[in-house]
A = this chain, B = another copy of it.
């Protein structure tokens, strides 16, 4: 693109001819008539150059740089399959869900719009269709009418919301499980009526917190239990927080929520510890211990 700008810019250099032509006329090489024509041509080119550059910037370069914008690089190849699950988006998120389902013998029809990704995955032995799952006719072909649920695993927030509206309208019986970028995106998805929302880094970041505590010497089963409480509380509050529209109110609500969460976990910790000290009933102890062993494995 840089080169192209320069090529167009070069037409400006033509004007340099004007300077030369003037000297030429003075030396008697060019007649007054030829000179007049030349002046007109050069003057015109000076007016046209910025226009050509503008056209280049606005219409030509955007198409060269992003050919996908105006037409898809290839036709969809979605085929009819009678699977109970449709997966929209097979990047690292959708891919993991897909592998887990497949490993459990559950059929899933997979759609992805990244042409290179589709090819790579096929070479790796995955059955992936090239096609945009936000187009209702492709969802129809993919079997959205027979399927029980759709995994919306694409990374683009806007596109996800579009897809949800399409599905609500055309396939009201299809259950949606939706990936969310973060807390704010989860609020948007809640407001779009979604019930199954998965904040993409939530679980892993909690696991990291658990491991940090273990490295600091905390007991495995205690931290795992605290993590479960943390997770449940965080999900529970999400709905309430999503209803707050006012920014100042939101800040106050978050402050309050964080304090309450600390309080809840403190109570949980105290209970766990006093329980162990005073001696729990045996079955509970055995259970706790075997769980901890399993989690450590």
Q: Are B124 and A269 in contact (CB under 8 A)?
A: no
Contacts of A125 in B (CB 8 A): 254-255, 258-259
Chain B's nearest CB lies how many Å from the CB of A45? 11
User: Which residues of B sit under 8 angstroms from A203, Cβ to Cβ?
Assistant: 203-204, 206-207
Contacting residues, chain B, for A291 (C-beta < 8 A): 291
A200 contacts B200, C-beta separation under 8 Å: yes
B287 lies within 8 A of A209 (CB): no
Having A103-B230, A196-B211, one finds 9 other A-B pairs with CB under 8 Å, namely A2-B57, A15-B15, A96-B201, A100-B205, A102-B258, A103-B258, A201-B204, A228-B294, A287-B287
Residues of A within 8 A of B (CB): 2, 9, 12-13, 15-16, 18-19, 22, 39, 42-43, 46, 49-50, 53, 57, 84-85, 91-94, 96-97, 99-106, 123-126, 148-149, 151, 153, 175, 177, 179, 181-183, 196, 198-213, 215-216, 218, 223, 226-228, 230, 232, 251, 254-255, 258-259, 261-262, 264-266, 269, 283, 286-287, 290-291, 294, 297
Interface majority SS on A: helix, strand, loop or mixed?
helix
A120 to B18, CA, bound (A): 60
